[in-house]
Structure 1
Amino acid sequence: MPAWLLPDHTSDQLPAEALQVERLRRRLIDLYGLYGYALFQPPLLEYVESLRVQGADDLDRRSFRLTDPLSGRQLSLRADITPQAARVDAHLLGQSGVSRLCYAAPAIHALPAGLLSSREPLQVGCELFGHEGLDADLEIQELALASLDAAGLQNVHINLTDRAIFAALCSGDSGVTAVEGELLSALQSKDRPRLDRACEALRPATRSALQELVSLYGPVTGAEGVLDRARRVLPKTDAVLASLNRLERVAQSALYSRHPHCQITIDLADLQGWRYHNGIMFSAFVSGYPDALVRGGRYDGMGEAFGRSRAATGFSLELRALSALSVPSHAGELPVAAPWEGDAELHEAVAHARAQGRAVVFLPESEFREWSGPRMVRTSGLWQVAPAPSSSMN
C-alpha cells in the first residue's frame, strides 16, 4: 500500500483551503464572543465513561476506543464536543445561572455520518446552559443563522421539530425500547412500510400515533399547516400539546421576522441528530449541500451524569463544509518577494512591511527574478514594496 494513502473519509487540507477555513473559524469565534460565549478547548481523549451519554447509543457507536497504556482503562476519542461542554459546565464552572460556551475543534468518528461525511469533522458550535425558557432556544437559533450569514450564505431553510413529541407518544409502551432505533430510522426516511413493521409489537394507540407522524411535515400554518393537522390527529395529551405550542411560538417569533430570507417548515418525523436531544430541535439547510449544514436542539439534564442536572441547548456545524460553501473573505494574493542576498536595510524594510500586515517571503536570486507578484526593490537608496511587474515587462 502506498505510504501517501489516507484512511477512508479523511483528507488533507491544502494551504488555500486551510487558510479559508481558519479565517472563517476566527470570524465565528469572534462572533460568538460578541454574544457572550466563552471559548473552551476540551481534550480530544477522555475515559469512555466521561463521553458516554445515557440514551445516546448512536454516539457510542461512532466513538473510537483504545486502551490507556498508563492506567489500563478504556479511553475514547470524542465523536462530539457537546457532552464535554456539559461536563465542563456541570463540574468545572459551577455557575448557578446562565453560562455560555463555544468551541472549534476536531472530533473523530469511527464510522462516517454519511457517504460524503468526514471521519474527522471540524466541529464548531455554541452551548447555552441554565435556562429552560424559549429565549435560550431562540438565541441559539439566532446564532446559527448568524453563523451562516458570516459565511455569506443566504436563503436558508430552517426545519423545526421536537423530540419530546416522540417521547410522549411512546410513553408507557414497554415495547418501544427494543425497536426505538428502527422507529427513528423509519420516521426519518418516511418509510411507512418499514415503520408499520417496526410498530407491530406496540400498543395500538402508540402504533397509530407514530404512523401519523410520517405525514406531519410542511409549512407551519395555513390550510396545510403542520401544527393544526397535528392538533387534530395526535393524542391530545398535555405533553404533546405543550410541544406543539412551543414549536408555534418559535416559528412565529420575532427572530424569523428579522430573517425574511429564511423558509420555516416543521417536520415532526425528522428526528435526525444525536439521540441525547430531548426537546426542540432544528436543522438549517442551504442550496448546494445535500444534508443539514447546522443541527441543534435541547438536551436538558445531560449534566446530571457529571454531578449537576442543567437545562441545556446548543448547535454545531462542520466548519470545512461551511467553508466550502462560503464566500471567500479575502481574494488570494501573492506575498511580497525579497532577495535573500539583502542588506540590513532590506531586513528592516521587510520587518516594517510585515508589521503592516504584508506577507513577505525571501527567495533565491534566480526565483526572485522570475517572481510574478509584488517585490521589494531599492528606489533612491530605500527598499520599498513595488507592485507586480506587468506582463509586457516579462
Structure 2
Amino acid sequence: MVEYLDSLTSGVGQDLVEQVVVITDRVSGRLMGIRPDMTPQAARIDAHALNESRTTRLCYCGSVLRAMPTSGDSSRSPVQLGAEIFGNTHISADIEIVRLALDTVRLFTDEPLMIDCGHAGALKSILGSHTQALQSQVLDALARKDLEAMSKLERTVPEIAVLKNAYGDLDTVFSFCESEKILREACSEVGAVREGLEAENVSWYCDFGETHGYSYHTGLVFGIYSLKRDQLLVRGGRYDYVGESFGRARAATGFSADLKTLVRLAN
C-alpha cells in the first residue's frame, strides 16, 4: 500500500499524482506515498511479473487513500475493486469491461442503472495541439458546463464549439455529432459498445466533453450511475500505453468501484 513516491507516480496522470498522500521514510529520508489507486500496480504486474504478449485479465481489491474525495459524497479511503484487460486493442475488450462492471453492480442492487459514455481520445484530438494552460482553461469550463466561458474560449480554440451540444441522451448526441468529423470515430466506438450491450436493461447518456481522467485515458470512458440515487457507482475506460513507463506499453481497459459504496446499495 506504501511505495517510494517516484515508483508510485511513474506513468500515471497528473490528476492521480495530486491524489497521493505523501509521507517521509524516517530511515532513508526518501518521500513515500500511499497508493490512491490500484490500477498502476496492476499495470506493473502485467508488464513485469507476467510479461505476456497475449491478452491478460486481472482483478484486484484493496484499500487506497486519496488526498481529496473524487466527488462530493465519495470516501477518501475506499476499498477499491476493479478489473483490467491488457493487450487487446479491439472494442470487444471495452464491451467486456463495461458488461463486467454492470454485472458487478448488479450483485449488489437491482436499481435502474445508467451508463454515461465519453471519449478521451476525441477530446485530446480537439485540444492536443494547444498549450497546457489553454487546455486547462477549456477542461475547467467543460467540467462546469460553463457555456459563457466556452464561448469566450472559442475565439482561441474554435474546435471546441462542437462540444457545447455534445452531451445528453445518447441518440440525441449521435444525431448531432455523427456529422462532425472530429467526433465520428468516438460515436462509432460508443455506438459499438451500446450495440454489444443491447440486451442490457440500462439507460444511456453521452458526454464527449467529459474531462475525468483526461491526462490518463486514451479512448472510451464510462461511468455507471444509480438512477434511483443519482449516484456514481463505477468509473472505467481505456488507457492504452499505461505500461510505457515500465518499459512495456500495452493496450488496456478497465474499471474500478468502491466496495463500501456497493455494499451500502444492498442494505
Equivalent-residue separation in structure 1 for 2:12 and 2:161 (angstroms): 23
1:65 aligns with 2:22: yes
Tell me how far 1:272 sits from its aligned partner.
2.2
Change over 3 Å in CA distance of 1:53–1:208 after alignment to 2: farther
**Aligned positions of 1:44-63 closer than 5 A:** 44-54=1-11, 56-63=13-20
Q: In structure 1, give the amino acid aligned to 2:176.
A: R
**SS of aligned partner of 2:232:** coil
Between structure 1 and structure 2, the one with the greater Rg is 1
Q: Please say if 1:211 is aligned against 2:152.
A: no
What's the % identity of the aligned pairs? Answer: 33
TM-score, normalised with respect to structure 2:
0.92
Partner of 2:262: 322
Alpha-carbon distance between aligned partners in 2 of 1:182 and 1:325, rounded to the nearest angstrom: 36
Counterpart among 121, 124, 139 of residue 96 in structure 2: 139
Structure 2 gaps of 5+ residues are: none
Alpha-carbon distance, 1:117 to partner:
2.0
Asked if 1 retains the 8 angstrom alpha-carbon contact of 2:169 and 2:206, the reply is yes
Q: Distance in 2 between matches of 1:195 and 1:107?
A: 35
Unaligned runs of 5+ in 1: 1-43, 329-394
**Counterpart contact for 2:21–2:66, Cα < 8 Å:** yes
Return the TM-score normalized by structure 1. 0.64
Report the equivalent of 1:127. Answer: 84
Aligned to 1:184: 139
Deviation at 1:247, TM superposition (A): 1.6
Paired letter, 1:142: R
Instruction: Give, in whole Å, the separation in 1 of the partners of 2:71 and 2:152.
Output: 25
Once the two structures are superposed, the pairs formed by residues 301-340 of structure 1 within 5 Å of their partners are 301-326=241-266, 328=267
Asked whether the 8 Å contact 2:60–2:82 carries over to 1, the reply is: yes
Q: Which amino acid aligns with 2:195?
A: Q
Amino acid at match of 2:166: L
CA distance 1:219–1:112, change in 2 (3 Å) = closer
Change (3 A) 1:153 1:184: farther
Contact 1:276 1:299 in 2 (8 A): yes
**Cα contact 1:66–1:75 (8 A) shared by 2:** yes
Alignment of 1:155-174 (within 5 A): 155-173=112-130
Which residue matches 1:74? 31
Q: Deviations over 1:296-330 (max 9, x none)?
A: 0000001011110000000001111111112x5xx
| Aligned position for 1:247 | 190
Distance 1:122 1:198, change over 3 A: farther
Residues in 1 aligned to 2:40 and 2:137: alpha-carbon distance in whole angstroms: 24
SS for the counterpart of 2:40 is helix
SS at match of 1:214: helix
In the TM superposition, 1:332-371 aligns within 5 A as none
Aligned residues: 267
Q: Which amino acid aligns with 1:228?
A: S
Query: Residues of 2 paired with 1:324 and 1:71: CA distance?
Result: 41
Change (3 A) 1:68 1:196: farther
Aligned pairs for 1:12-31 within 5 A: none
Partner of 2:206, secondary structure, is strand
The one-letter code of the counterpart of 1:91 is: H
